[in-house]
A and B are shown apart, each in its own frame.
Chain A
Amino acid sequence: MFSRRFDMGVKVGGAVVGAVAAIVFLVGYFGVRNSVADVGYRPDQPVPFSHKLHTGELQIQCQYCHAGVEASAHSPVPTTQTCMNCHTAVKAESPKLKVVRDSYESGQPIEWARIHKVPDYVHFNHSRHIRAQIDCKSCHGPIEEMGVVSQFKPLTMGWCLDCHRNPEALIVGARPISGVFTGKLHAVKDLLDSSYIFTPIAAQVGKSTPITVPQFGSYDTDIPPLTVAGIPHPKKAGIGPENCSTCHY
């Protein structure tokens, strides 16, 4: 057998190592998993394009470049031609735009680095979310303040479900901000002060039961109204479902 010191050493050492391992695991697992899920991912882009300048200061509506996002599953990245609509006249000689001009002349698209991506087995449909009156900022964050765009939300399945289960608590009622719905541009500096923007709409629509709580074979829970007090409800029929085939099809 062994010395008393060995006995105590192994036991105390084992307890310490075990406790440290447990703490490291728990902190690592629950603490930093969002950064593991690429929050803050900010790749270098081929062109030093600033959303802060274009969206924030110049107030260009999102759909000017990301045209068709409200009608299609995919939010398109603009073609070089879209850039050149303005840049044939504005800053036409800027050295920062050389890549854009080269692309325009050669006909070869610019290779933008993709930031937001969900796995192939998940179908995220932009148009459905926009039609449910969910603002771009709910997922993409304060784009108008980003010089270089980075990923703002983890895009994990759990993050999707948080909203699909309880949209009224999580979706910021800042719908006019990108002008998607109003067609009208807003001064961000005014809107930032508005309490309307950052008030979750839960208080305004009251409590509703998710529609994915079917009793055997049928959906017999009440479907919430399309609008409550004039405010569109994101959880109207068919929106915010929790069944697998909503996204995995």
Chain B
Amino acid sequence: MTVVQEQERLQASLLGEEPVREGLVLGNPSVRDVTARIASIVESKITLKYLATLAVTGGMAAWGLFALYYTFTVGIGAWGLNNPVGWGWDITNFVFWIGIGHAGTLISAILFLFHQKWRTAINRSAEAMTIFAVICALTMVLSHTGRPWLFYWLLPYPNQMQMWVNFRSPLAWDVFAVNTYFTVSALFWFVGLIPDLATLRNYVKSDIAKKVYGVLSLGWTGSTRHWHHYEIGYMILAGISTPLVLSVHSVVSFDFTVGILPGWHTTIFPPYFVAGAIFSGFAMVMTLLIITREVLDLKQFITLKHFDNMNKIILATGMMVGYAYAMEMFIAWYSGSDWERWVFINRAMGDYAWAYWTMVVCNVVSPQVYWFKKARRSIPLMFVISIFVNIGMWFERFTIISTTLHHDFLPASWGYYSPTWVEISILIGTFGIFLSLFLLFAKFVPVIAIAEIKSILPGSQPKHHHTPHS
């Protein structure tokens, strides 16, 4: 940083234009340092440790894919589903993964619109995580259909049966919501990546890498005329992604609420699901970022301030989820409906009470430590709590699904659901797919939005002065 820039920054701070705060990027790197630091991750040699980790996650993925293959050849009778529980881990995992996928777009879109500059360090990896989580979610719903090779039956297309999708069904809404979410997230992510891929194209040494990044960056040159369109386009994408994030989990919750089963048929579900999704998504971002930050040594860009902010969001959304748990109980009592009351008493004290109380402890009790700043800035603690939240949010979906189904209206058909090795393997497999994709991403794609970080460095923007309009 030149003396002039330093002076200007000081001046700007004094004028209140750039408040003196804890920096978002530590160590005052120059623009060139940022390029070098982040691109060096891509340039670095692939280590044995990396390959070993990838082998483990790849093995998990392969094992899950084998379980899926087994399911497809044998049929979903391979799972523990039967009357009365017709939805089990398949839908639990689907809702879990789609929920995880909410943090990425939330960070990219909503925080962008609110000019939360701290998002720049984490948005790239959070968006990547979103896409990978939605891939896992799609895997789960496709396998849930039983005949995934006929997936296109879910889409309205002119066919020999002259049939159309039943648009009165929330399951059809879900198809549109999840696919739209995947497409828009992927577009948003890729548009954000283009300038960084161009940076890599000009930075990397190897010829093949130059060609690959060259093709992927689509010939971006950083032209101001292009940036002008780009910024507006990015803003529009952020603007439309914001309601999209809120809608997707609402629509997922319609799968339950539009039905008439006690325990599902509640109006609180859409906001409760969205809050839960953001909660679990942030927890997963925390888990991954804590590791990424350590391994790739990104402490300069991902600071304790970032974690502090994210933990505040986890605390807030955790409280919302806790409120929803309480409200469900209250409304069940207040409704005066015997079935509604019974389902909620059964949820807390019945066969699945262990799952319910795991959920409450993980989701409501554990984040309470974040009232203390020390806890919000303790890496080991936040790592543990992020895992707790992940577990708790998985159990939330499991509890909602199985407690409503396992005791239906006819006591004679009551049952208890437990998964088979196939379902357990598929869950492990989705984690394998998710982690493998994230590992590949962390190695070959800039994990931090280079151009965005540069644009928030002190002194990177011109000082305000009057620009006469031509």
Chain A contact residues, CB within 8 Å of chain B: 1-2, 7, 33, 37, 154, 156-159, 161-162
Contacts and interface: CB of A to CB of B under 8 A. Distances in A.
Main secondary structure of the interface of B (DSSP, over half): loop
Nearest to A161: B162
Which of B160, B163, B214 is most buried by chain A, counting CB atoms within 10 A of its CB? B160
Nearest to A36: B160
Given A157-B163, A159-B160, 15 more contacts: A1-B201, A2-B211, A2-B214, A2-B215, A7-B219, A33-B160, A37-B160, A154-B160, A156-B160, A157-B162, A158-B159, A158-B160, A158-B161, A158-B162, A161-B162
A41 to B, nearest CB: 16
Contact of A1 (B161, B162, B214): B214
Interface string B211-225: 100110001000000
Interface of B: 159-163, 201, 211, 214-215, 219
List 3 A-B pairs, minimum CB-CB distance, nearest first: A157-B161, A158-B162, A156-B160
Contacts of A7: 219
B219 A1 contact: yes
Contacts of B161: 156-158, 161
Nearest to A10: B215
A157 B160 contact: yes
A158 B161 CA distance: 4
A162 B160 CA distance: 11
Contacts of B159: 158
A33 B159 CA distance: 10
A159 B161 CA distance: 8
A63 B215 CA distance: 70
Contacts of A157: 160-163
A159 B85 CA distance: 38
14 contacts: A1-B214, A1-B219, A2-B211, A2-B214, A2-B215, A37-B160, A156-B160, A157-B160, A157-B161, A157-B162, A158-B159, A158-B161, A159-B160, A161-B161
Nearest to B219: A1
Contacts of A33: 160
A162 B161 CA distance: 10
Contacts of A154: 160
Nearest to A158: B162
A222 to B, nearest CB: 25
B190 to A, nearest CB: 17
A154 B215 CA distance: 46
A2 B201 CA distance: 11
A156 B161 CA distance: 6
Nearest to B158: A30
Contacts of A158: 159-162
Contacts of A159: 160
A162 B162 CA distance: 9
A37 B160 CA distance: 9
A217 to B, nearest CB: 16
A37 B161 CA distance: 12
B124 to A, nearest CB: 23
Contacts of B163: 157
A1 B159 CA distance: 44
A33 B161 CA distance: 12
Nearest to B161: A157
Contacts of A161: 161-162
B69 to A, nearest CB: 25
A154 B201 CA distance: 55
B166 to A, nearest CB: 11
Contacts of A37: 160
Contacts of A1: 201, 214, 219
A178 to B, nearest CB: 28
A5 to B, nearest CB: 14
A156 B158 CA distance: 13
Nearest to A2: B214
A24 B160 CA distance: 18
A1 B202 CA distance: 9
Nearest to A157: B161
Nearest to A162: B162
A233 B432 CA distance: 63
A199 to B, nearest CB: 26
A158 B160 CA distance: 5
Contacts of B214: 1-2
Nearest to A159: B160
A158 B215 CA distance: 45
A67 B103 CA distance: 68
A33 B160 CA distance: 8
A240 to B, nearest CB: 14
A158 to B, nearest CB: 4
Nearest to A1: B214
A1 B214 CA distance: 6
A159 B162 CA distance: 9
Nearest to A156: B160
B52 to A, nearest CB: 36
B449 to A, nearest CB: 22
Contacts of B215: 2
A3 to B, nearest CB: 11
Contacts of B211: 2
A2 B162 CA distance: 48
A228 B39 CA distance: 82
A189 B201 CA distance: 78
Nearest to B210: A1
B222 to A, nearest CB: 13
A157 B159 CA distance: 9
A161 B214 CA distance: 53
A2 B219 CA distance: 9
A161 B159 CA distance: 12
Nearest to B220: A1
A185 to B, nearest CB: 37
A91 B450 CA distance: 91
A248 B163 CA distance: 14
A1 B212 CA distance: 10
A163 to B, nearest CB: 12
A156 B215 CA distance: 45
Nearest to B211: A2
Contacts of B201: 1
B196 to A, nearest CB: 16
